[in-house]
Each structure stands twice: as C-alpha cells, then as structure tokens.
A = this chain, B = another copy of it.
C-alpha cells in the first residue's frame, strides 16, 4: 500500500512513506527509522521526555488503517483501551512499511507564553569588539604603503600585529579600492573580523542565548548601548531525544552520529531564533557580530559538538569548564562568519554556564549577606553564600517541574493549567491561553499539591487519604475517587467553569513531586550545613528560571520546596541565565568576573555526602502543612 500518487515516485526501494494526520504532512524515511525521528523530519514535534525508553507515555500516536504489534514497554505503559483503538508510543515504533499516523499531541516549537522579568535594564558596556571607521590615505609612488599596514597604522591602541584572516586578506586590495579607501574595520583584540564599506561604526549587534534544556531564549542586543532590541524563544528541539540532559547524553553516546545530530538540531534552532530576531528588527544575519551563550554544562558540550559522555558517568568530568570561544562559521551559525561565539564558563559537570550567568546577573558573588539562589528546572541548581564564599550543588529534581513524569503533566504552553486555588465552595484555575485545560505545568503542580496539603486531601506522608476520613466539605470529598488500587483527585471536573472533561491527579504524581521537591530541599539544607548557616541568617532567596516567573511562593513554602523563611525574603529574578549572558556579551569585565566565579565557587557533590540520603528522606514529608 502506498499513500502517494504514482507521479510522486519513491527515490529508492528502502524508502518508507509516513503520512501524519490531520495535517497530511509527509516524511520519506529509510526503513528502520524511528517514528519520532520521522515526525521530526515532517516538522512535527511530538512530546517525549524519557529518551525513547517508552516510559513517559508522552509520545502517544494512533496508527491508522493497519495494526502493529505492541512492544513489552507499550503493554506496560498503555491502557488496554488505548491499545484497542490503535494507540502506540511513537518512540517504540521503527517504521518498516508505509504508515498513516494520527498525531494526538503536537508541541508548537515556538512557545507563545514566554516571559522574562529582567532585574536590571542597564548593563556595563565594555565589549571587546571595536569598530573603526577610516578614510585611509591612498598610497602613491612616494608612499608605497601596503594595504594591510595602511589599516594597521590607523589603529593606535593595537598592542601587537594586526591579524587579517585569509578570506578578508584575499579581497582586501580590491575592496579598499572599490570603496575608495573609506571603510569600517571591526576588530576583536588584534583580529580583524569584518571589513565594510563606508561608516558603519554606530551599528554593532550581538545576541545573548539562554540555551535551556527545555527552552532556548535569544535576545538581540545593540552592543554599543546595551539596548535589547528583541527577545524570541523556542522549545529546544533536542527534547525529542529526551527531556533531561542524561537522556540526551545517552542518545549521543549510543546512537551512531547521535552527537552530531544533537548539535545540528540545536544549531538549527538557534538559527531559527536568529531569523525571528532579524525579521522582527529588519536586521541582516551578517550584521550580528557576536554571540554569548549560557547553558548547563551538558548543553554547552552538545552546542559545541563536544563529547559529553564523561559528565554522565562518575567522576562526572567535563571536557572544559572555562569559557570557550569559536568563530560562528565553525559552528554553522547564521551570523557574521568570523564573529566570536562564547559560552559562559561552567562551574562543574552539573553546575553550568547558566548558573554562572545567574550568579553574574544577580551579583551573588558580591553579596554582603547570605543569599540563596535556586534555579528550578530539570536539574535544580542551588548556589549559597556571600562575597566571602560561594558554594553550589546540583540536585536531580527530574522533569516533574517541567511537566515530565506527571500523568497529566505538560510544559508551560497553551492549554497548561498553571495556577490552582481551592476555596470553601469551588476550585479556581488558570489555563495558559485561556483554553480548555489539557494538562498541568510545574507551577500548577505546586499549587495543586499545596492546596491538597492545605485541605488535608493528602497527609503528611503524601498519601491521598480515604475520602471517608476527609474532614473537608462534601463537594471536595466527592472529588477523591477510588481507582481500584488507591485514590485519585479530580483537580478539574466537568462541573467546573471552563472545563469540559475531568483531569485527575494520581497518587503516583504526588510521589514524583515529593521526589523532586525533597531533592531541592535536601540540597539547600546541605549547603546551609556546609557553611554552618541557620535559616534566619539568610538575607534573600532568589528564584530563577522561567518556572520561577509564575510560581506562587506561599505554595512553594507550603510544600517544603523552599526552607521555612519569611515570604518577603523570596524574590523571583526571572530568566537570570539570559541576563547573565547579556552581561557577559557586553563587558570584558563581566567575562573576567565569570572566570573568577567558576574558580572561587566551590562545588559540592551531593552523592559524596554521607548525610544526603537521610536529609532527602526527611524532606519527602509535608511538614509545613500548617503554614
């Protein structure tokens, strides 16, 4: 059976056609290609969290017109009802024949609900690119100066010989004469990176990238003024190969060409952001002269195509910690070919350039009093201390706060329930995009559990109680329903305003949240122990991450994610990694500071702490239920 007309001939006998409905998009792939991969080829992003292990159940699709056998993993993850109507997990199917597939859940690559709260709008401007506009003296027979030196002698601050890269040297004489010796030279220290006609000395653009595991944010910056011209964000397409960094390392390690592929798709995604930034500001690619990039250590490795394998295995060794700087053309980035691209330096294998950016942006390394910085994402990184001493750790929070491993979890995008509140008579909720709720995202998750704790729907150990022992109002009791094994809680039911069908929260979902929050809370406790600091000595708690932007801090306190501190000390600093990347982009001083930060910030490996397991277990409970 073929889904193509006879005119659309196949290129080879090994080629398989996959048609995705309802859009009708087509992928031509080789036999044996994974269905997720085929979907990517057709530019369809099916959500996937577990790195093709068939465990997260996010990549459900429906096979139309034929029946495929189920794998063992599908038998475990899918319900009999789902299987009976042809639902499969895309990650479990390697296509061997033409297929017609119905997409159940597609992620839009461009996140519409992205938001940043920038702490400071004013940056120090002290960049290392300089633009020099010259009208050179034309050589004549009495002044036979060579063209390179004619330029060099016009740059007075030059410490050493001027280096003109080969492609620029090859056309130097021609371009000088074409432009009547009236040119603008851009230098990075003693390197010429561009030669332009006429005077362009007032225009110098750069891009700061926050390369998140889940979301990539790019800011187009006017580097001579620090002005942010535009900000764009898209989902990191590497998510198809695993929601967390370890899944991606495994993929890069086990699949032939995996590393190259992961690098290629992230570069492609950044180029997409550049295109959006350029379109919205009427900028040309070649006008972007520089890029800084803040990502966690594994994202930095993957961005550069550097093998990250040994970060994932003890003793967790990265190939590099310092800032790396290469030319855009070496990485295939759509900007000035010889423009410098720098990664923010990493502190350790699990505390990366994004955290260096956080410290840099919030001046954590300059605080007089003790400050706690928390970046809650797939990994929860924690920084603690003052200008005297900074220490940090990374906790394996897992993807729960990004919607992973939660039965109805999803990312903070259209259709995600992101706020939740229960009063005596009803539940209130907010859905991103004001549409029918499709699932819950991280902030919704925290709100829901906090409310379940507050109303006693779960006990101190995290167990959803027998409705017979529930002391609250009847209407709420009815939402606790037995599922055959234990109890579910109907966070949304058909009776609620704005809901057409129920959404259930399961016992297992609470367990996932407990694991995640206790990982973060235990990390905080250990850092406080390490510096021998009591909670009252903490001056501020700064919460970073796109996640933090929407978080209800009272609920974060209630579930015990944050230590029991006065709420007014808790501040959301928004996308601190992105701010750090901008600061790094604009200032040589900031670059020096960043290198000092990675040398002076002590990394605590939690797995080496004898007390970790005990504290982690303690933090599983909901002790702050009484708040």
Expressed in whole angstroms, the minimum distance between the Cβ of A93 and any Cβ of chain B is: 32
- Cβ-neighbour of A317 out of B146, B316, B321 (below 8 A): B146
With a cutoff of 8 Å between Cβ atoms, the chain B residues found around residue A141 in the complex are 314-316, 605, 607-608
Q: In chain A, residues 540-578, which have Cβ atoms closer than 8 Å to a Cβ of chain B?
A: none
Task: State A260–B304 Cα separation when bound (angstroms).
Answer: 32
Residue in B149, B166, B172, B346 whose beta carbon sits within 8 Å of that of A322 in the complex: B149
CB distance from A237 to the nearest CB of B (A): 21
Convert A316-334 into 0s and 1s, putting 1 for each residue whose CB lies closer than 8 angstroms to a CB of B: 1111111010100011000
Chain B residues positioned under 8 Å from A320 (CB to CB): 146-149, 164, 169, 172
A306 and B171 alpha carbons, distance in the complex (Å): 7
**Is the CB–CB distance between A318 and B172 below 8 Å?**
no
Answer yes or no: A139 CB below 8 A from chain B CBs. yes
Chain A 134-177 interface residues, beta-carbon cutoff 8 Å to B = 139-141, 143-149, 161, 164, 166, 169-174, 177
B319 touches A144 (CB 8 A): no
Residues of B within 8 A of A147 (CB): 310, 317-320
C-alpha spacing A316/B140, complex, angstroms: 8
Chain B residues contacting A346 (CB-CB under 8 Å) are: 146
Answer whether residue A584 sits at the interface, using C-beta atoms and an 8 A cutoff. no
Task: Give residues of chain A (280-310) contacting chain B, Cβ–Cβ below 8 Å.
Answer: 304-307, 309-310
Closest Cβ–Cβ distance, residue A409 to chain B (whole Å): 33
Chain B hits for A340, CB < 8 A = none
Contacting pair A315 B169 (CB below 8 A): no
Q: Taking the complex as formed, is A348 at the interface, i.e. its CB lies under 8 A from any CB of chain B?
A: yes
Q: Please tell me if A603 contacts chain B, counting CB pairs below 8 Å.
A: yes
A349 within 8 A of B: yes
- Determine whether the beta carbon of A348 is less than 8 Å from that of B144: yes
Chain B nearest Cβ from A408, distance in angstroms: 39
Q: Which residues of B contact A306 (CB under 8 A)?
A: 169-170, 172-173
Establish whether residues B309 and A174, one from each chain, have CB atoms under 8 Å apart when the complex forms: yes
Residues of B within 8 A of A330 (CB): 166
Tally chain A residues at the interface, Cβ within 8 Å.
46
A543 CB, min distance to chain B CBs, angstroms: 27
A143 CA to B314 CA in the complex, in Å?
Answer: 11
A170 contacts B314, C-beta separation under 8 Å: no
- Chain B neighbourhood of A145, CB < 8 A: 317
Bound-complex Cα distance A173 to B309 (A): 8
Q: Which residue of B lies closest to A139 (CB)?
A: B317
**Minimum C-beta distance from A613 to chain B (A):** 16
Residues of B within 8 A of A161 (CB): 322
Bound Cα distance from A146 to B307, whole angstroms:
13
Query: CB-CB < 8 A to A148: which residues of B?
Result: 319-322
Rounded to whole Å, the gap between the CB of A205 and the closest CB of chain B is 24
Closest chain B CB from A76 CB (angstroms): 35
Question: Taking CB as reference atom, which chain B residue is nearest A150?
Answer: B317
Select A140's contact among B139, B166, B315, B318, beta carbons within 8 Å: B315
Least CB separation from A259: chain B residue = B170
Choose among B173, B304, B309, B608 the residue that contacts A307 (Cβ–Cβ < 8 A). Answer: B173
Contacts A304-B166, A324-B169 known; A310 to B149 CB distance under 8 Å? no
Q: Shortest distance in angstroms between A560's beta carbon and chain B's nearest beta carbon?
A: 29
Chain B proximity of A356: nearest CB distance (Å): 14
**Chain B residues with CB below 8 A from A170, complex form:** 304-307
Contacts of A331 in B (CB 8 A): 166
Contact B144 A307 (CB under 8 A): no
Distance in Å: Cβ of A301 to nearest Cβ of chain B = 9
A372 CB, nearest partner CB in chain B, Å: 23
Known: A140-B315, A148-B319. A307 touches B605 (CB 8 A): no
| CB closest chain-B residue, reference A608 | B141
A173 and B310 contacting across the interface, CB-CB below 8 Å: yes
Question: How far is the CB of A421 from the nearest CB of chain B, in Å?
Answer: 44
Contact A146 B321 (CB under 8 A): yes
Bound complex: CA of A322 vs CA of B145, how far in Å? Answer: 12
A419 CB to closest chain B CB (Å) equals 40
Residue of B nearest to A318 (CB): B146
B146, B305, B309: the one within 8 Å of A319 (CB): B146
Chain B nearest CB, measured from A192 CB (Å): 12
* Complex interface: chain B residues within 8 A of A169 (CB): 304, 306, 319-320, 324
Contacts beyond the supplied A171-B307, A174-B309: 18 A-B pairs with Cβ under 8 Å: A139-B315, A139-B317, A141-B316, A141-B605, A144-B605, A146-B317, A146-B318, A147-B310, A148-B321, A164-B320, A166-B304, A166-B305, A169-B306, A170-B304, A170-B306, A173-B309, A173-B319, A174-B307
Q: Can you list 26 A-B pairs, Cβ within 8 angstroms, ordered by A?
A: A139-B315, A139-B317, A140-B315, A141-B316, A144-B316, A144-B348, A146-B319, A146-B320, A146-B321, A146-B346, A147-B320, A149-B320, A149-B321, A149-B322, A166-B304, A166-B326, A169-B306, A169-B319, A170-B305, A170-B306, A172-B307, A173-B307, A173-B318, A173-B319, A174-B307, A177-B310
